[in-house]
Amino acid sequence: MMNNQQKSEIRFRRFGILTIASVFFLIFVGGLVRSTGSGMGCPDWPKCFGKWVPPTNVSELPENYRELFKSSTHDVAEFDVYKTWIEYINRLIGVITGLFIALTVFFAIPYLKTNPSVFWLSFTALLLTGIQGWIGAKVVATNLAHWMVTIHMVIALVIVGILIYTITKSQQFDVFQINNDRSLKLIMIAVLIVSAIQTVSGTQVRENVDAVALVTGEQNRAHWVDLLGNIFKFHRTFSAVSAILTILMVYKFRLAFERNSIIYKSVLALLLLIGAQILSGKVLDNIGFPAQIQSVHLFVGSLICGMQLFIAIVLFSRVKTVHA
């Protein structure tokens, strides 16, 4: 029979996992906003064309709406219901995710007695969510300035990283290593370094994609690859390093852990994600940068970062060697 504390901990972990999933979904939708050029689908913030529920037809707007909603940093394009509602749905999901994070903090209150860091980490994620909302407003105000969009994405990854760490920290479990291979942590560190390099180069590629799209137009996607420069070539080629390291992880972890252990299963999942990421990159490279695949590429990349962080947390804090 579980006591109230145990029930509270289970509720926190289950809701925390739901919250992490919602943040990843928000990252996916945010990528869809960028890849479809819908970032200015709503030219104002927090409302959209001055309404809490945006219009579905240009006839619902005043005739001078482009003049009415323009600012010192940007003009307003012709109304596009598709782009407007993509951006509006993105904002709604952002609000829902913010509420989920607030509820995660509420469910973390019982940990103030047993493990206070769980509560304070959850609260930190909530504070960053507030900052993220403010950054979102600045993204609109600066007409999607590349550096603001990058900051927006980085903060989202930090939030999901804190949540993953918090949920993992709230659980009491050990993973037993059946050999004394000390290279596992070195490989994990190498994986994290390579991932950081890929993430940074990926944000630079995305900024170049935005610049090329602005110059050539959406109709010339097939020619974007030729204009992306050396950073794209580096990002594409360096993905092989990530794949090789992950394959090495699978081999090493297979020898070090039971097949049904959470850490070994996570490494296998990571390998599948790396494969999916490389495949989506190949599609972008060879089939004219389809917008939907841009979103998939960004989404899978964020899942890879989350999975790598989870594996690292377990490896460095939960693994116990059972014999040499």
State the DSSP code for 45: S
pLDDT tier, 147 (very low <50, low <70, confident <90, very high otherwise): low
Q: Indicate the domain borders of the chain.
A: 1-172, 174-324
Give per-residue pLDDT as tens, 232-269: 888 888 889 999 999 999 999 999 999 999 999 999 99
d(CA 296, CA 294): 5
Give per-residue pLDDT as tens, 213-234: 777 777 777 778 888 888 888 8
User: Hey, which residues does 321 pair with through a beta bridge?
Assistant: 177
d(CA 15, CA 17): 5
d(CA 176, CA 248): 20
pLDDT tier, 5 (very low <50, low <70, confident <90, very high otherwise): confident
Contact 190, 245 (CB under 8 A): yes
Q: Does position 171 have pLDDT exceeding 60, yes or no?
A: yes
d(CA 180, CA 54): 60
- Strand residue runs (E) in the chain: 175-177, 319-321
Give per-residue pLDDT as tens, 80-115: 888 889 989 988 998 899 999 999 999 999 888 888
Q: Which two tokens stand for residue 82?
A: 């598709």
Model pTM?
0.85
The fold for domain 174-324 equals Four Helix Bundle (Hemerythrin (Met), subunit A) (1.20.120)
Inter-CA distances, 313 with 160, 228, 258, Å: 14, 35, 18
Q: Which of 22, 167, 29 minimizes the C-alpha distance to 90?
A: 29
